[in-house]
Amino acid sequence: MKKEDVPQDPSALVGVTRDVCYVKDKDGKYTTDLSIGWDVKKQALDNAWDDIKERVAEAATQVKNGEISPIFYFMEVKLMDITLLSGYTGFWKWTIKRHFKPSVFKNLSDTKLATYAKAFDISVEELKNFHG
């Protein structure tokens, strides 16, 4: 690709990151140039963010309906999975799954809730009072 052909299609990551592309300069030598994105990548990112928004909305509905605890919702919002959340909290994965149950969540100690709140970068009150 020639330096002047480097794609510059804005995406969700504009202002956050840029891609390094290997290009040929006017003398035919390889060099690097920065791209803010290209249309195919933008479409892929947009699709991924749409999927994430759907998962977060579904988690909020489940919390609102009393099907799952707010821990699951905030895990989705923060783009975590159980393994990552386990690493941040020190809780075993099976313990976290158990804490997803609203009946178990409502009896968690403030110490455990504070551990989750710290992992999610929210307050204990936000965690306790989230209702979808």
**Yes or no: domain 49-129 corresponds to CATH 3.40.1050:** no
Q: What is the pLDDT of residues 5-50, one digit of tens each?
A: 776 767 666 777 777 778 888 888 888 878 777 777 778 888 988 9
DSSP category for residue 28: S
- Locate CATH 1.10.260 in the chain: 49-129
23 phi and psi, to 5 degrees? -135, 165
Kindly report, residue by residue over 56-74, the tens digit of the pLDDT.
999 999 999 999 999 999 9
Rounded distance between C-alpha atoms, residue 46 and residue 62, angstroms: 24
From 44, 39, 52, select the one nearest 8 (Cα to Cα).
Answer: 39
